[in-house]
Structure 1
Amino acid sequence: MKERMKGFITAVHRERYEVKVNGEDLYARLKAGIYFIDQCEEEFPTIGDNVELEYNPLGDCLIIKTLERKSAFSRKDPDVGMGEQIIAVNFDYVFILMSLNYDFNLKRLERYLTASWQSGGQPVIVLTKADIAEETEEKLELVKQIAMGTDICMVSAVTGEGMEQLKPYLEPDKTTVFLGSSGVGKSTFTNYLLGRELMKTGEIREDDSKGHHTTTHRQLFVLDNGSRIIDTPGMRELGMWIVDDGMDFSFSDINDLIMQCRFSNCTHNGEPGCAVAQAMEDGTLTEKRWKNYRKIQKESKFQAAKESRQQAVVRKKSNKKKQGHFSKMNETGGEW
């Protein structure tokens, strides 16, 4: 019998994983007889996962089990028909990196916040490129208006401005995942924290002030103090998966308004005593925020309904197999 060991995944490539096992860096692949079968019960592992594997001294180890997770950031897979995509797991904090220059986008930030609260980690908004951005204080105020209960740090990984604010999160034995769209400066940010040029960085385009996408795979690094950081490729889109709990946190102001409506079944479309309509009329709730809330809510409900239908199909197939087995046993006089 092959020796079984435990380790955690430090990097994810196409079909290959880098795994830390007892301080040693090994390569591993998924065991086909476990992960590539009908109705596979194991979660496909990703960056940050603790796994069990069969040790192979002559080649790649084989991952045979994905252990329980304490947190997971997921989105709708951008490839059509692929369902949920898990980006990273087993982290304590989520650093949502957003550039203060032309990439500044509040609607996108609301989406990241919602998915981050859903993940089980604590989100922290990190506004990057403070050294080259304009109207930074005004933008900071706009972020504060939509990020109730979330810590916000305004930094520059080039000059070091504001980076001291991040120390309380980057503690020994804590793990932080970096998320954001392409060009927000995640690689520069990672290099600053590591104290060396380990990640390749791109130049800033003069026409739109955006950086080039440089990170090509997910990778975990350990800082000198023992803190773990997970760098991820920039996301060109963040489709919502099921984020009911996340919406309770990121849109708590809207949820409070809905509770104040005169009618419990208020559709917020002209009914008397609608607190949402009143808030938009007096300016305490913007129409943009309300529309983004409804859009994310619609996406989440659609994915939940789709998952429910798929689970029902799986259960139906499983029941048919059982019924066929039972019928065969009865015909042959078999015993249970």
Structure 2
Amino acid sequence: MASLSSSHPLVPYGWDADWETAFAPYVDQGLVPGRVVRVDRGLCDVVTSAGTVRADTEFVVPRDPMKVVCTGDWVAVDPEGSDPRYVRTLLPRRTAFVRSTSSKRSDGQVLATNIDHVVICVSLALELDLGRVERFLALAHASSSGEALLHKSALSWESGAQPVVVLTKADLVPEATTLSYLVQDVETTAPGVQVLPVSSQRGEGLDVLAALLSGGTTVLLGQSGAGKSTLANALVGEDVMTVHATRDVDGKGRHTTTTRNLLALPGGGVLIDTPGLRGVGLWDAGTGVGQVFSEIEEIAEGCRFDDCAHVAEPGCAVRAAVEAGELPERRLESYRKLLRENQWIVAKTDVRVRAELRREWKRKGAQGRAAMEAKRGRWR
């Protein structure tokens, strides 16, 4: 990587020599580089060397919803003095965090781009939902990498965005032993992922988290009421995000954050706060599911059949592990559920996968009918 002066105004926002190289073709056109810090109805706020400007995205409205301007994008915008100013092009994305927009559609929604860390916020004000943690992790591990992969999630922990699970509102768990057990439960659910209990109210754990996130781009994810905006304010060091109280009855909050906002951190790095996610639909996250449930996939190598569904097949090593108490039944059920959902999402846009699913359904249907006929034969 070529050297880049640390005094460049955009360095605090993630600008580096590689971005400078990617932008080089647009220098002769008189365009200026900038990073999108907020998008709102066809307009966006872009931080440039001269400050933050308001720009229109009309010239980069694609047919592909995966390529719309998004918070975190690096762009080329019209120079100062242009009225109005337009975003002329997107620089190739390094990573993109994508979820399915709806179970009835095959579109993906890009939530944030060019990210280095994915912080999954889980509130300790409610009982832990380990299945939801697994779902968020599958999405985090499947963040797509590179311009050629904008339609496909293929980013591993080693090569891209690093997930971190933050247990917010840790002050609501007064017993240290109880808190330790909760952390262990999540660590078991998230093998290889750092799990940090944090209290934004008391400032506990914030220094460790801030050090972990310095120097990169972080996206905060979680349900409404998980404490993302409070955590963002604590990390930034000022009240930059509005915070609403959660309901006592279920711990849920209103959608404090309605847009995705990119904020500079005082210790280095930037933070993207996102609205609370009611639905967390997978988007071509097969690789992510495999990483979240890596222990199951390792055990499955000992199954008699390569296509073992781990239900009732003879010689199933996974079922044997469950029966021996070495693998929780809940974990296996969650694995199956996410695999089925991801396969369904992929099948919507992949003819080959769709055909394979139909063949599998027919095969299982034939097996079911044969089993029923065998039972009837015994009854006669």
TM-score, normalised relative to structure 1? 0.84
C-alpha distance in structure 2 between counterparts of 1:304 and 1:207, whole Å: 38
Aligned to 2:21: none
Aligned to 1:318: none
Does the alignment pair 1:297 with 2:339?
A: yes
Does the alignment pair 1:209 with 2:235?
A: no
Q: Which moved more, 1:57-66 or 1:86-95?
A: 57-66
Aligned to 2:17: none
Aligned to 1:265: 307
User: Partner amino acid for 2:173?
Assistant: A
Does the alignment pair 1:24 with 2:47?
A: no
Residues 9 and 46, structure 1, Cα contact 8 Å, conserved in 2: yes
Q: Alignment partner of 1:203: what SS?
A: coil
Residues 36 and 47, structure 2, Cα contact 8 Å, conserved in 1: yes
User: Partner amino acid for 1:233?
Assistant: P
Aligned to 2:200: 157
Q: Alignment partner of 1:168: what SS?
A: helix
Aligned to 2:41: 14
Q: Per the alignment, do residues 99 and 264 of structure 1 end up closer, same or farther by CA in structure 2, a change over 3 Å counting?
A: same
Alpha-carbon offset, residue 300 of structure 1: 1.5
Q: Per the alignment, do residues 97 and 28 of structure 1 end up closer, same or farther by CA in structure 2, a change over 3 Å counting?
A: same
Aligned to 2:114: 90
Q: Alignment RMSD, CA only?
A: 2.4
Q: Alignment partner of 2:196: what SS?
A: strand
Alpha-carbon offset, residue 263 of structure 1: 2.1
Aligned to 1:220: 262
Aligned to 1:110: 134
Mapping of 1:31-70 within 5 angstroms?
A: 31-32=58-59, 34-36=60-62, 43-55=67-79, 57=81, 59-70=83-94
Structure 1 runs (4+) deviating above 6 angstroms are none
C-alpha distance in structure 2 between counterparts of 1:194 and 1:220, whole Å: 11
C-alpha distance in structure 2 between counterparts of 1:64 and 1:247, whole Å: 36
Residues 237 and 266, structure 2, Cα contact 8 Å, conserved in 1: no
Match of 1:127 among 147, 153, 167: 167
Aligned to 1:199: 241
Residues 93 and 175, structure 1, Cα contact 8 Å, conserved in 2: yes
C-alpha distance in structure 2 between counterparts of 1:65 and 1:41, whole Å: 15
User: Partner amino acid for 2:260?
Assistant: R
Aligned to 2:232: 190
Aligned to 1:147: 190
Mapping of 1:226-305 within 5 angstroms?
A: 226-305=268-347
Q: Per the alignment, do residues 139 and 99 of structure 1 end up closer, same or farther by CA in structure 2, a change over 3 Å counting?
A: same
Alpha-carbon offset, residue 82 of structure 1: 6.3
User: Partner amino acid for 1:257?
Assistant: I
Q: Which moved more, 1:269-278 or 1:233-242?
A: 269-278
Structure 1 unaligned segments of length 5 or more: list them.
311-336
Cα-to-partner distance string for 1:206-249 (whole Å, 9 max, x where unaligned): 22233332111100011123321111111011001101221221
Q: Per the alignment, do residues 150 and 100 of structure 1 end up closer, same or farther by CA in structure 2, a change over 3 Å counting?
A: same
Residues 187 and 194, structure 2, Cα contact 8 Å, conserved in 1: no
User: Partner amino acid for 1:44?
Assistant: V
Residues 12 and 218, structure 1, Cα contact 8 Å, conserved in 2: yes
Residues 210 and 235, structure 2, Cα contact 8 Å, conserved in 1: no
C-alpha distance in structure 1 between counterparts of 2:257 and 2:127, whole Å: 18
User: Partner amino acid for 2:230?
Assistant: T
C-alpha distance in structure 2 between counterparts of 1:80 and 1:219, whole Å: 28
Alpha-carbon offset, residue 84 of structure 1: 0.2
TM-score, normalised relative to structure 2? 0.75
Q: Alignment partner of 2:255: what SS?
A: coil
Structure 2 unaligned segments of length 5 or more: list them.
1-27, 144-159, 353-380
Q: Alignment partner of 1:107: what SS?
A: helix
Q: Alignment partner of 1:167: what SS?
A: helix
C-alpha distance in structure 2 between counterparts of 1:94 and 1:240, whole Å: 15
Q: Which moved more, 1:221-230 or 1:144-153?
A: 221-230
